Every structure is written in structure tokens, then in C-alpha cells.
């Protein structure tokens, strides 16, 4: 049997993997490029044997992505803060790039405001430049801009009244 990805002959048990949406029979090497499909023994029919690929190490399977709740954001004036702190320490873009292991072009784009740093890069810059770039996310408070009448909900008429200039008197339609 041959691997459906690389075409090499499979000497060990073939592996079923989903690679770019396609279920393929592949060798162990090529199974690293996708998610291994694990077949469990089922009692559906004894005539068709099912295989279990539990012998494949979990290190070869794609790790699950952890869900992280973001609680901080980068400050609005990050570009000027980074540039001023870098100049204050007397570092060039190249020196700072070597210090935090980043490309100088990325640092230049960040300082011009073309690119916002992600949280990981912002943390690196904070430690290297001794500045604060990450702040807690501020919860937006919704204010009641529309006056509510007692017991009634918001109507289209209320919205129209809000858009009129202050001095103009609204003519309400009388209910019949």
C-alpha cells in the first residue's frame, strides 16, 4: 500500500488522517500534516474489522487550540511610546530587534503606526523598553440617550424626535 500524499510504500500500519479536509490513507510521516482519525472498536458488524490507531503517539496529532479570554489591549498611542522609549535608551531598530528577536522591518512598521503589535510582541517591547503598552480593556458603558416614558418601550416616534433640532415642535399623530 502506498501513501496518498507522498507516494512512498507504507511499511507499517497505514494511518487515516484528515489533511486539508480530505480523509486520506497516509504514512506516519505524512500524518503530521493533518489530524489523525482514530477508529474505535465498535460492535456494528463482526464481518468488517475496524482498526484502532491508538498506537500513534499523541505528539503526532495536532494539538487542540486553547481558548483564551483577552483582558488587555494595546494603548492607542503605542507608536510614539515605543519610538520615544527606544530613542531614550539609545537603541537603533536593529539593536532592539536583536534584543527581542524580531525583524527590524516589523519594528519600523509598528513605530510608524502601520501595524499594531500583538499581545506577545507588546509584552516583549514592554520588558525591553521598560514601558507600559498593555492596559485592561475598558467596558463601554451604554448611556440612556433616549428618554423613556413610564411603562412604554421605545418607539420610532421617539427616534424621530431625537433627530429633530431642539427648537422644532413635533407634531404627533392623534390616535383614533
Q: Which domains does the chain have, with CATH numbers?
A: 15-57 (no CATH), 72-136 (1.10.260.40)
pLDDT (average), residues 116-142: 83
Provide the mean pLDDT of the chain. 75
Q: What is the structure's pLDDT at 45? A: 45
Largest Cα–Cα distance of the chain, in whole Å?
Answer: 87
pLDDT (average), residues 7-24: 82
Q: What is the structure's pLDDT at 164? A: 61
Q: Which residue has the cell 532592539?
A: 96
pLDDT (average), residues 44-69: 57
Q: Of residues 73 and 105, which shows the higher confidence score?
A: 105
Q: Cβ contacts of residue 39 below 8 Å, gap of 6+? A: 16, 50, 51, 52, 53
Q: Is the pLDDT of residue 117 over 60?
A: yes
pLDDT (average), residues 152-170: 64
Query: 36-50, 52-66, 78-92, 145-159: which has the minimum mean pLDDT?
Result: 36-50
Q: Of residues 92 and 69, which shows the higher confidence score?
A: 92
Radius of gyration of the chain (CA): 30
∠ Cα 143 144 150 (to 5°): 155
pLDDT tens digits, 137-152: 775 555 555 555 555 6
Q: What Cα–Cα distance (Å) separates residue 123 from each residue in 72, 79, 82, 100? A: 11, 14, 12, 10
pLDDT (average), residues 101-118: 91
Q: Is 23 helix (H, G, I), strand (E, B) or coil?
A: strand
Query: 25-39, 63-77, 158-172: which has the minimum mean pLDDT?
Result: 158-172
% the chain with pLDDT above 90? 25
Amino acid at each position: 500500500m502506498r501513501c496518498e500524499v507522498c507516494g512512498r510504500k507504507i511499511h507499517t500500519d497505514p494511518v487515516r488522517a484528515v489533511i486539508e479536509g480530505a480523509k486520506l490513507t497516509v504514512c506516519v510521516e505524512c500524518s503530521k500534516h493533518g489530524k489523525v482519525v482514530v477508529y474505535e472498536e465498535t460492535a456494528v458488524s463482526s464481518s468488517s474489522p475496524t482498526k484502532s490507531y491508538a498506537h500513534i503517539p499523541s505528539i503526532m496529532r495536532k494539538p487542540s487550540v486553547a481558548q483564551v479570554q483577552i483582558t488587555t489591549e494595546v494603548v492607542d498611542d503605542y507608536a510614539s511610546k515605543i519610538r520615544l522609549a527606544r530613542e531614550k535608551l539609545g537603541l537603533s531598530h536593529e539593536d532592539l530587534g536583536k534584543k527581542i528577536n524580531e525583524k527590524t522591518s516589523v519594528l519600523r512598521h509598528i513605530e510608524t503606526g502601520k501595524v499594531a503589535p500583538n499581545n506577545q510582541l507588546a509584552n516583549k517591547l514592554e520588558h525591553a523598553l521598560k514601558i507600559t503598552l498593555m492596559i485592561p480593556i475598558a467596558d463601554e458603558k451604554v448611556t440612556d440617550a433616549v428618554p423613556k416614558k413610564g411603562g412604554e418601550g421605545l418607539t420610532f416616534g421617539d427616534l424621530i424626535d431625537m433627530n429633530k433640532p431642539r427648537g422644532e415642535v413635533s407634531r404627533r399623530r392623534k390616535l383614533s
